[in-house]
A and B are shown apart, each in its own frame.
Chain A
Amino acid sequence: MSGFFEFFGRGLLRVMEGVGRFFVLLGLTMRGVVTPPFSPVATARQVVRVGVDSVPVVLLTALFTGGVLALQTFKGFQRFHAEGYIGSVVALSMLRELGPVLTGLMVTGRAGSAMAAELGSMRVTEQIDALVSLATDPVQYLFVPRVLASIIVVPMLVVLADAIGILGGYLVAVGYLGANPVVYMNNTFQYLSMEDMTSGLIKAAAFGFLLSLVGCQCGYDTKGGAEGVGLSTTKAVVMGSLAILIADFFLTKVLF
């Protein structure tokens, strides 16, 4: 019995430690943002790596998600003769929910994991120690460009994903299900408000922040050698995705 409590307690301690560490690193990152030296070049380089390089995978994800959304809603809405509203459902779901969340998850898999692997191998090869010995704050030097770039670039990716998702829905509805193109497009935009867009973008910025800080934290705190780097990379994807899904619920509740 005591074994169970020990196991449970230890797990709880580890979780609390990780959460505490997240906020410590968040504080140091925020301090790093406002104190010189600033690093616009490094940030721009990360914008390319996190953003530009993620465009193809985000677009493909959005295209097929929009398409499947149209298929599924058609199946359901057909039962009470509401096929005309497919466009609205696809657009609303993409903008408010699926665009930000799926983009966040894809970027976590691509860029969050890469951050963890890069910082993790820097840790195990003593490059982070070398930074400190060269009187350079490693959190400022490594975290700040990555976190800033992600906050900037994930909303941009989401705008693209939203557009392509709507296109995916249109292609399926018009091309395969035989919907009237003009009616479909009218339906798509008729019930949309600017607030749907902005709430999605606020989410996107929050997800960018979460996935990058979690990715950096997992890499920065890597222990052991190559095995440790592997574990950190996995952890960055799992923790980053969980953080995004949990934050999504609470953000939706606040932004509703």
Chain B
Amino acid sequence: MSAAKDAPPAVKLTKVTKSFGTKTVLSGLDLTVTRGESLVLVGQSGIGKSVLLKHVVGLLKPDSGTVEIDGEDLWKVSAKDRDRLRRKFGMSFQEGALFDSMSVGENIAFPLTRHTKKSKKEIADRVAECLDLVRLPGIEEKRPSELSGGMKRRVGFARAIALQPEILLFDEPTTGLDPITTDVVVKVIEEMRSRLKPSAITITHDLKVVFGIADRVGLLSGGKILVDMTPKEFEESKDPRVAAFVTGDSELAPPEAEPERRPAAPPAEAHP
């Protein structure tokens, strides 16, 4: 899983701070993901995990600090180059975020028709291939409203990998799913990783995901990444903050990690 020594890391966040109004969500956060590595970030609900992920793909602009993708500063390049960098990402959203005005097939074809010159036949083949990979073959004609929560997410994965991205981002891929569907989703993610060999950042509070797909685990609290360890170290850690999370014991949780209201991200900042 180690990257070439001289290549810049796939994703590098340096001293990123972000506040919404008077509430600071990220305070001087550093994060590095090397090529092919899978980082899983855990943390309580409302602690800013989604906000962090939105910084990585440039949906939110940091108040200070830098976000670098393959060594290029996301906010120093032109808007056109920013879109070029974004094409390296495949992002899957919490509830799938499928375009409900389109069919499943059109959703997955969307990035292909916009960013490639592929023929209709090639696009249809790629769509079928992506749906196979997420174990949902032949549902191209269905509407997103006809799908269950787990299926929506997997179609979201299929759309995210359509352009064969170098970096996959998963925003709570299993939240609200039953244990069996969770297992399917985790297996699909594993398979996507072993076939496509992308870097991946996953945010979750599901330990099944942590132990299923992580090379490294980070615990997000108080606007920073507090611990950074392997899944095995994470499981056996005596650190009270980690132990609280692994055992799910609120008595052990440090006071600063109390659940906070998830801030509504104003759209104005990233793309006015």
Question: What residues on A are CB-neighbors of B169 within 8 Å?
Answer: 133
A135→B87 CA distance, assembly (Å): 6
B266 touches A134 (CB 8 A): no
Annotate B248-272 by CB proximity to A: 1 below 8 A, 0 otherwise.
Answer: 0000000000000000101110111
B97 touches A28 (CB 8 A): no
Give which listed residue, B59, B84, B111, contacts A129 with CB less than 8 A. B59
A59→B38 CA distance, assembly (Å): 60
Inter-chain CB contacts under 8 Å: number:
69
Give which listed residue, A21, A134, A136, A224, contacts B264 with CB less than 8 A. A224
Question: What residues on B are CB-neighbors of A25 within 8 Å?
Answer: 272
> Do most interface residues of chain A lie in helix, strand or loop, or is the interface mixed?
helix
A127 touches B271 (CB 8 A): no
Question: What residues on A are CB-neighbors of B266 within 8 Å?
Answer: 221, 223
A220→B267 CA distance, assembly (Å): 8
CB contact under 8 A between A130 and B93, given known A135-B84, A136-B114 = yes
Annotate B78-95 by CB proximity to A: 1 below 8 A, 0 otherwise.
Answer: 010001101101010111
Give which listed residue, A122, A126, A135, A220, contacts B83 with CB less than 8 A. A135
A221 touches B267 (CB 8 A): yes
Question: What residues on A are CB-neighbors of B57 within 8 Å?
Answer: 132-133
- Tell me the minimal C-beta distance from A92 to chain B in angstroms: 43
Pick the most buried of A28, A128, A133: most chain B CB atoms within 10 A of its CB.
A133
B97 touches A130 (CB 8 A): yes
Question: What residues on A are CB-neighbors of B98 within 8 Å?
Answer: 127, 130
A37 at the interface (CB under 8 A from B): yes
Which interface class (under 10, 10 to 19, 20 to 34, 35 or more) fits B? Answer: 20 to 34
B115 touches A135 (CB 8 A): yes
Give which listed residue, A125, A126, A132, contacts B270 with CB less than 8 A. A132
> Do most interface residues of chain B lie in helix, strand or loop, or is the interface mixed?
loop
B95 touches A126 (CB 8 A): yes
CB contact under 8 A between A129 and B272, given known A135-B83, A136-B114, A223-B264 = no
B110 at the interface (CB under 8 A from A): yes
Give which listed residue, B79, B110, B267, contacts A134 with CB less than 8 A. B110
Among residues of A, the one whose C-beta sits closest to the C-beta of B83 is A135
- Tell me the minimal C-beta distance from A113 to chain B in angstroms: 17
B58 touches A132 (CB 8 A): yes
A133 touches B89 (CB 8 A): yes
Annotate B196-211 by CB proximity to A: 1 below 8 A, 0 otherwise.
Answer: 0000000000000000
Annotate B100-121 by CB proximity to A: 1 below 8 A, 0 otherwise.
Answer: 1000000000110011000000
A127→B38 CA distance, assembly (Å): 25
- Contacting residues of chain A (22-61) with chain B, CB-CB under 8 angstroms: 24-25, 28, 37
- Tell me the minimal C-beta distance from B72 to chain A in angstroms: 15
10 pairs across A/B with beta carbons < 8 Å?
A: A21-B272, A125-B100, A126-B95, A129-B97, A130-B93, A133-B89, A135-B87, A136-B83, A221-B268, A224-B264
**Which chain A residues have a beta carbon within 8 Å of chain B's beta carbons?**
21, 24-25, 28, 37, 122-123, 125-130, 132-139, 220-221, 223-224
